[in-house]
Each structure stands twice: as C-alpha cells, then as structure tokens.
A and B are shown apart, each in its own frame.
Chain A
Amino acid sequence: MSLVRFFRRKHWDSERAAELESHLQIETDRNIEAGMSPADARAAAYRKLGNPYRIRETIYEINTIPLLDTLWRDLRFSLRTLIKRPGFTVVVVLSLALGIGANTAIFSLCDGMVFRPLPVPDPAGLVTIDIAASRLTSYGASSYLDWVDLSTRSKSFQSLSTRQDMTAAMNPAGAVRDGKPQVIWGQLVSGNFFSMLGVQPALGRTFLPEEDQTPGKYPVMLISYSLWQRTFAGDPAIIGKQVELSGHSFTIIGVTPKSFSGVDLWFRPDVYLPMMMAATVSPEGNDNLTHRDYRGCTLLGRLKPGITIAQAQSEMNVIMSSLERDYPNTNKDTAAIVRSERSRRFENGAATPGFILLGLVVLVLMMACANVASLMMAQAASRIREISTQLALGASRAALFRRFLTESALLAVLGGVSGILLAAGCIRGFASLIPYSTTPAGPDLKLDTRVLGIAALASISAVLLCGIAPAFMAVKEALRATTTRTAVGGRSHSALARRILIGGQVALSVVLLVAGGLFLKVFVRAQSADLGFNPDHMLLVFVDLGLNGYKDQQATHLNQQILERVSSLPGVTSATLATNVPFLSGGSWDLSIDGYTSAGGEKFVDTNTNQIGPNYFATMQIPLLSGREFTVHDDERAPQVAVVNETLARRYIVKNESVDKALGHILRLRDNVPIQIVGVVKDSSNGSITDPPPPMFYLPNLQQGSSRATVQLRTKGDPTALVSLVREQISALAPGVTPLSAITMARAFSANGLFTFRVFAILSGAFGVIALSLAVVGLYGVVSFVVGRRTQEIGIRIALGAKPGDVLRMILANGISLATAGVLVGIVVALAAAPLLRSLLHDISPRDPLTFVVIAVLLLTTTSIASWIPAHRAAHVDPNAALRCE
C-alpha cells in the first residue's frame, strides 16, 4: 500500500492541491455570505486553513519511504555524474562488460561441457556402474544380461537402470498430417529408468514395469519435449497417437519435461523406448538382450539410504566373481566399478580444461576491475574539490560513501547487463566451434539461471573490488584537503595505488598473453600434425541401411554394391567403406592374441577396432608394412582374417623383430573363432593428435560388418562437389535410402580433432588481446594523468630552459619504468604458473623461451607507445599556458 503511495506521490499531491483549493473556495463563499469583501474573504479563508503548501508537504512526507527516497536521489545523482563524463563511463562499462561477459560465456561453456548437474531431481545421488572388460581399464559398458543379474541380486541399490543409444527412421504420418520421415536418435531404457531418476512427464505417463518384461510386447514410447515441439507442433492431444519407427508402429504414451534433456551431458535423445523393444529398431537388437558379450548398456542408479559407494562396490565384486564363475567364456576378468555420477564425470582430468579456462578468465575479470578501479581513483582525485565542498556544507561521510557506492553499483549493473548481452553473443559463437556429429550430440550451451547467477556474482564482486577503495580514498583525501587546504593534486596514496594497479595489470596481461601464445603454438603444431593418413580430398558419406529395415547381411551386400557404384564415379580416384572414421567415431572389442597373456594373467584385452572394406589403406593412404589388405574375396565364406597396426604387432607379437613375423598369427574375439593376421600397417591416428596411436586391429566388413557404414571417397578435385552425385547413386540403387549426412575428412578432422586446440587458442588469444588492450589503456590513462598533474611543473621546467627532449624522456621514463616492472613481475608469475597448463600443452614446454621473449617484446613496445603519446604532449606544453592555469 505505502509502496504504491510512494510511487504515486505526484498524483496524490495534485489531488490534495485540488481538495485544499476547494476548501478555500467553500470557506471564502461562507465569508462572503457573512458580509466580507471577496478579497478579505479569501484572506480570512487562508488564515483559517493555514499554508496549503505546508499541508501538502506534510502529506507528501507521509507518503515518503526515506530509504527509497535517498536511494532514488543517489541514483539520479550518479546517473547525472556518469552522463557528464561519457568517456569515463563508456570505458568503465566496456571494461566491466568484457570482464563479466567473458566470465559468463566461459562459465556457460564449461558448464555445458562438464560442470552442469544432470537435469533430474537430486542429481548428486546418482551412481554409475562401469563394467571393465579387463583390469587394464576402469570404464566400459555392461551387457543386458549382466545388468539383469546385477540389479536382481544387488541389495545396495534402491533402483538400477540401464539404457542404450539407438537410432531409427521415424515416420510421424500417423500423428501429424504433413509429417515427413526423419532419422531420430533416442535411447532404449529399462522400465524403471524414469522412476529411478524421479522425472515426471510433461504430458502422459512414463513406462510401467510390465512394459519392459516381454520382448516386443509393448510398442510404446516417450518423446522429448523438443521433438514434441519440432515435429508434432506441441500437439496437446499427442498421447495415444501412433508413429512408425523403422517400420513398426509405436504408441506415444508420454512427453518428457522441457527441463529434461537426457542423462548424458553430450547427447539429447528424442525418443525413449522400453529395452524390450530393442529388436524392432535394431537388426542385432535381440542379440543385445540375449548375448552376454554384447556390451552396449550403460548403468545408472540410486543407492539405498545409508549405503555407501564402497559398500555397493564390495557387493558388486561378489556378484561379478560369481558371474565370472558361471559364465567364464564371456565374463572372465570382467569387473564392475561403482562411482558417483558426478565424480565419474570429473575423473581423469576431464574438468581440467574447464578449470584452466575459468582460471584464465577470472584473471581477465581481475584486470577489468583493476582498470575500472584505477579509472575511478583518477575520477575521484579530480573530484576532491567537489567532495570537500560537500563535506564543508555538512554532507555526512556516510552519505558521500553511499553515493560513491551507488555510482559503482550503477556502473556494475550497466557493465553486467552489457556483459550478459556480450556473453549471449559469445555463446552463439561457441556453437560454431562445437564438434561435428551425426547425432543430436555435443554440449548444450545456454544462458540459464546458473550462468546468470555467475554473471551477477561477477558484477557484485566487481562493485566491491572497484568501488570501495576509491570511495574510501576520495573521502579521506577530501577530508584532508578541507582541513589542510593543500593544493589539489599533490602526491597521494591514490596515485601510488593507481601505479600498483596498472603495474599489476601489465603483469596479468603478461600471464594471459603467455598462455595465449603457448596455446596458439600448440594449435599451429596440431594443425600440421602427422596423422598417419591423408585427410585431404576425402569425402565421407554416412549410410545406415538398418534404419530402412535391412538386416545385417543384406545391408553388407547392399553397402558393397553402393561402394562399387560410387567408385566408378568420375573424379573418384579410390573408394572404400568403414564402420568407424577417425575423429568421428570409434569402437573397441575384447581381443585375445594367441601366445599373449597380460601381466595380470588376463587373456582378453579391450582393443580398438574398425571394420573396413577393400582398398581401405590405399584410400586412406596408410602405408602397408607387410602382407596384404582386404579384398572382396574376404567375405563370409572365406576364412576370417585381420590386419593389425604396427603398435599391436610390436606390443603383443613380434616385440623388436621384423613385423613380417606377425603374419599368420592368430587373434580371437570372445566367440573364439581363429582370425589370421594377413597384413600389418603403419600406425595412424585413431582420433587423437597428441597421444601415440593405440594398438588397433581391422576386420573385413564383409565378415564382421554392420548395417552402419561410412563410404569414404578419395577425390581428384573438391570432394564436396561429389555429394549430390553420390546421393543419386545411392537412391538409384536402394530407393528410400538417403545418406544421413556427408562431410569432408578435412572438416571432420578440423572440427573434431582440433576442437580443444582451437577453443583454447581462440579463447586464450582473445583473453590475451583483451588483457593487452586493458593494460595499454590503463597505462595511457595513468601517464596522461601524471602529465595533467605536473603541467605546471613541466611549464616551469621548460621556462627555465628544459628541452622538449628532456621532458619527453622524463615522462616516458615514468611510464616505461612502470611497464617494465609489470612485465618483469608478469614473467616471473608466468614462469611459475605455466606448468599448471602442462596437461594441455602436450609436447610444448610450458616455459617455451620463444613465447616468453615475443610476449615481453610485444608488451614493452605497446606500453612504450602508450606512454609516448602523453609524453609527447607534455614535451610540447606551452609554458605560458601552463603557468597561467590554476
């Protein structure tokens, strides 16, 4: 009520004015009736009423809330002050916007990539189980049957769910009139998945326990909020409608809430089906449910109250050893590893890049704050006369202090808002850096409440950092000025503080530029890294015939036909196909090598693999060291064969002898069928630029292939020119089949392989440039300020015969000494701190001398120029003008 009155004071006042006027008129009328002259009547009425202005004032004050009133007055005053100094305001707001914006954007990036908790109630209570195929690893997926045993025998878990990624061709025609078929990605989940998470549907319901009991019995599905909006236009009557997935009809029973984007930070499924419907959407679906060596299930659960991870772990150990006894063929040497979802995500330094980026960007904010603080001190120093006048007129120190803080707060709000706008732009920019993927994957970057909270935090700390010290100093110095009447602009604490701030800025910018320089060097080196294959002039076309209902054998056959067709296209020099592509996808299978047992006594080793077509090595230009590569004759009727890379041959078979000796050696998968090595190839990158290639074996896709394949073409000219020709060939051969997508190998490498390198080079480079500009502006400001203060002195010096050169040197020395001190401190700090970046620098030394020298020279040059400009101005001071001022 009173708040409403407060803001409607003007309205009330005019209402009262009218009322009092009406009172006066009535009284005047009465007096005239009593016989007075009109003038006397009016005067008597006024006497009787009292001063109407005084009455209005009383009522106005009743409506006033003192705190709001002063706040409002301070705000208006600050706004006027800032508008009067547009240059100062713009520089301060820009500095703050850069600092806050960069922090907000980087936090959003890191949050989307690692930090953000899963979008479910109580995400901290989620626990993962990895099934490691050997003791060499602590990660791995579970088989469906292992999950069944773990979840039924375990007593530690309240609920343990499993899920598996899937893809299907969806025909939504049953639910929307003009719905077009599309490829969608989703997850097969156990019946308890949503109840375990505690996720309530936005519409409809989640799965019932019986819907995940019998294979193929309940064709029901949940769709994501995003798919519901995208494809079904948010139809409120969607529940109960039918859509086709890979030719099978499914009933939509629910829509997941908008806030729920799945339980994988990097993957946002669009549909969820019961695990029991696996066979309808995947050719090998039933095998997934019945084979203990098909490991595609990811486990996630919640422990019973009071049970610790360690207790659950020891229970899992018991269950796993009994499974190992019961199923030695498939479960020999497997182990279950229980971790909290959060700690698993942060394990193995996954969060280190995020922490490094955040550390760097906090330095940027500190620099921005230092810049603002030093500008504010300069402002305050120039306002000492104004402040001392106010003090002399009786303003309280608290009131002045409050006004200073209001001004900083206003600047922080302006800076914060522009920072958030800047961050929104950056976040959109980050999207273009996100790795290429054929799935709805990649980090989901957004300005959510968490991110906005960080922006607010950054703004508040900026106010505290920038506002308090200058306000304190200004009020103190003004007090001294009123009492001692010393000349304004003498040596002062704030001048010293400013020099320290600017020196610190230069030092910080050295640190940031060194980081930027190092990451740039890493990026340049990564770009020209030797991958072991030639990524230029290669086109990748993704096809998955399984989506159109082709079974494995048919699909392999058809893939082979597609390959033959596209090989003969003009402009194609060589063509092959493969299940996985370096930098885009990868796979690993348990492999045993005859005659080899690991140090831990295990036969099977989780080993990287790829299923490839004939001519793979020729097309990729990976040199063959020994033996032969696969041909069309290595099909399902021929004996099983393999090609291995040099590392595998050396590590497990030939050691230091010639790799020729590996030919003829026998490898086995879990099914124990002998596979003979027929070739050894040179190592090539399997998706990493910096790590040495791991042991790797290749199998012919005609023997071990799947419906999913990537056609790889080596072309004479621009590979993208061939995309439409290839599409035509495929649809001519198999009507209805369209490639999922097509990109060049060079782009896949650049987008995915160089992702981290590029992010770090761009961001740390940007931080460095921001830092350098802030430092240069700061130094320029402080030297100009010195010149301004010493104009009189300089005038006297010139009048007494000092040459412009002497003045120039004197002022220049002032700036350069400060810059040099800053650079030296910065280099010491950078030398000490650079090893923190080691994990991201790979083979580049964190104390790379060239980088340090270049940065030092760069900073000394730019800061010298920044001090030269005001020094030059000082040298040309007109002594007459200088002496007359003041």
Chain B
Amino acid sequence: MARIGESPLQSDMVQGTLDLLILQTLSPGPAHGHTIAYSIERRSEDVLQVEHGSLYPALHRLEDRGWIAAFWGTSENNRRARYYRLTPAGRKQLVAQTNRWDQLVAAIGRILRPATE
C-alpha cells in the first residue's frame, strides 16, 4: 500500500523541482497537461525529459494544495482538455520556491567550486 506523497517521480527527479517547473510553466497563463509536458522539455532544451504520465500525480498534488486550479476548455486542435492556471497562493509559492532554488544552487555552487584566493 502506498503512503501519502509517495510518487514514482522520486527516483528520477527531485519532487519539488517538478512542482517548481510546473508552477513556472503556468506563470504566463493557463495550459493543459500536454502543453506543460512539452513546454518543460522544450525550454530545458530536452535536457529534462519528463515522462508524461508522471506529470499528472504532480498536477493533482498541486491542485490539492490549492496552488493551481483546473477548468475544462478546448485545446488548439479542438479537443476538450483540462486546463490549469496559477492561483494567487501558487504565485506566492512560485516566488518563494524560486528564491529557495536560487539559494540552493548558489550554495551547491560554492561547495563544488570553492572561491580560490
């Protein structure tokens, strides 16, 4: 039996990272799951290969926390699709997590490449 919060993503990618990427992808405006997946791949210049299926549990979790909200709309090629948009709480979360990410990266950078006198 699975525990709360367990996800197949964990082995591939830090869970919080995917959350951050999704929030960032949604910051210009609403998008559906398919767009989000390709957008992350494209913008990372295909370095981050998202297994499309693993995106959905993450979307579900973010929606459950109230950071994103969903609505049904019509896609570019006239398919019904579930769109997501950032909520105000999600926007706040994006700023906070981006800052934390920057700090983390800076810290790891300092460790890996110590400033030489």
Given contacts A23-B33, A29-B77, contact A55 B82 (CB under 8 A): no
Number of A-B contacts (CB under 8 A): 76
Q: How far is A257 from B74 in the complex, measured between Cα atoms in Å? A: 61
Known: A16-B56, A22-B79, A59-B56. 14 other contacts (CB 8 A): A18-B82, A19-B56, A19-B82, A22-B80, A23-B52, A26-B77, A27-B34, A50-B51, A50-B53, A50-B54, A54-B53, A62-B4, A64-B1, A65-B4
- CB < 8 Å neighbour of A29 from B1, B57, B79, B80: B79
Nearest CB of B to A756, in Å: 61
Query: In whole angstroms, how far apart are the Cα atoms of A16 and B55 in the complex?
Result: 12
Q: Residue of A at shortest CB range from B60?
A: A59
In chain B, positions 85-116 with a C-beta closer than 8 Å to chain A are none
Taking a contact as CB atoms under 8 Å apart, the answer to whether A26 and B79 are in contact is yes
Contact: B60 with A16, CB < 8 Å? yes
Q: Would you call A49 an interface residue if the criterion is a C-beta within 8 Å of the partner chain's C-beta atoms? A: yes
Q: Is the CB of A2 within 8 A of B64?
A: yes
Q: How far is the CB of B54 from chain A (nearest CB, A)?
A: 7
Do B5 and A55 have beta carbons less than 8 Å apart? no
Interface residues of A (CB under 8 A from B): 1-2, 5, 12, 15-16, 18-20, 22-23, 25-27, 29, 48-52, 54-55, 58-59, 61-62, 64-66
* Contact between chains at A22 and B32 (CB < 8 Å): yes
* Among A5, A18, A23, A50: residue with most chain B CB under 10 A: A23
* C-alpha spacing A1/B51, complex, angstroms: 28
Contact A49-B53, Cβ < 8 Å, known A18-B82, A27-B34, A62-B5: yes
In the complex, the answer to whether A51 meets B53 with C-beta atoms within 8 Å is yes
Contacts of A22 in B (CB 8 A): 32, 34, 75, 79-82
The 5 closest A-B pairs by CB, nearest first: A50-B53, A61-B2, A19-B82, A26-B34, A49-B52
The distance from the CB of A440 to the nearest CB of chain B, in whole angstroms, is 58
Chain B residues near A5: list those with CB within 8 A: 64
Residues of B within 8 Å of A20, CB to CB, are: 53, 56
Taking CB atoms and an 8 Å cut-off, the chain B residues in 13-57 that contact chain A are 32-34, 51-54, 56-57
Closest residue on chain A to residue B5 by CB atoms: A62
Cα A472 to Cα B54 in complex, Å, equals 45
Which residues of chain A are near B81, meaning CB under 8 Å? 19, 22-23, 26
Find the B residue at minimum CB distance from A26. Answer: B34
Asked, given contacts A5-B64, A19-B33, whether A55 binds B77 with beta carbons under 8 Å apart, the answer is no
Give the chain B neighbours of A25 by CB distance below 8 A: 79
Chain A hits for B79, CB < 8 A? 22, 25-26, 29
Give A58 to B80 CA distance when docked, in angstroms. Answer: 23
Across the interface, which residues of A come within 8 angstroms of B52, CB to CB?
A: 23, 27, 48-50
The answer for the CA separation of A291 and B75 in the assembled complex, in Å, is 98
Give the Cβ gap from A126 to chain B, nearest Cβ, in Å: 53
Interface residues of B, Cβ cutoff 8 Å to A: 1-8, 32-34, 51-54, 56-57, 60-61, 64, 75, 77, 79-82
Give the docked Cα–Cα distance between A22 and B83 (Å). Answer: 11
Smallest beta-carbon distance B13→chain A, Å: 15
With known contacts A50-B51, A61-B2, A26–B82 Cβ distance under 8 A: no
Q: For A19, list chain B residues within 8 Å (CB).
A: 33, 56, 81-82
Nearest chain A CB to B48 CB, angstrom units: 15
A876 to chain B, nearest CB (A): 53
Distance, CA A49 to CA B37, complexed state (A): 10
Q: How far is the CA of A141 from the CA of B56 in the complex (A)?
A: 81
> Which of B53, B61, B79, B82 has the most chain A CB atoms closer than 10 A to its own CB?
B53
- Name the CB-closest residue of A to B75: A26
Give the residues in chain A near B53, CB-CB below 8 Å.
20, 49-52, 54-55
Q: Which residues of B contact A61 (CB under 8 A)?
A: 1-2, 6
- B106, chain A: closest CB distance, angstroms: 33
- Chain B residue numbers with a CB within 8 Å of A52 are 53
| A55 touching B34, Cβ below 8 Å | no
- Taking CB as reference atom, which chain A residue is nearest B52? A49
Residues of A within 8 A of B80 (CB): 18, 22
Q: List 7 A-B contacts (CB under 8 A).
A: A16-B60, A18-B80, A23-B81, A27-B34, A29-B79, A50-B53, A62-B61
In the complex, are the beta carbons of A59 and B34 less than 8 A apart?
Answer: no
Q: How far is the CA of A20 from the CA of B51 in the complex (A)?
A: 13
- In the complex, chain A residues whose CB is within 8 Å of the CB of B77: 26, 29
Chain B residues, Cβ within 8 Å of A12: 60
Contacts of A58 in B (CB 8 A): 2, 7-8, 57
**Alpha-carbon distance between A66 and B3 when the two chains are bound, in angstroms:** 8
**How close is B53's CB to chain A, nearest CB, in angstroms?**
3
A23 touches B2 (CB 8 A): no
In chain A, what residue has the closest Cβ to B4?
Answer: A62
Closest chain-B Cβ to A545's Cβ sits at a distance in Å of: 77
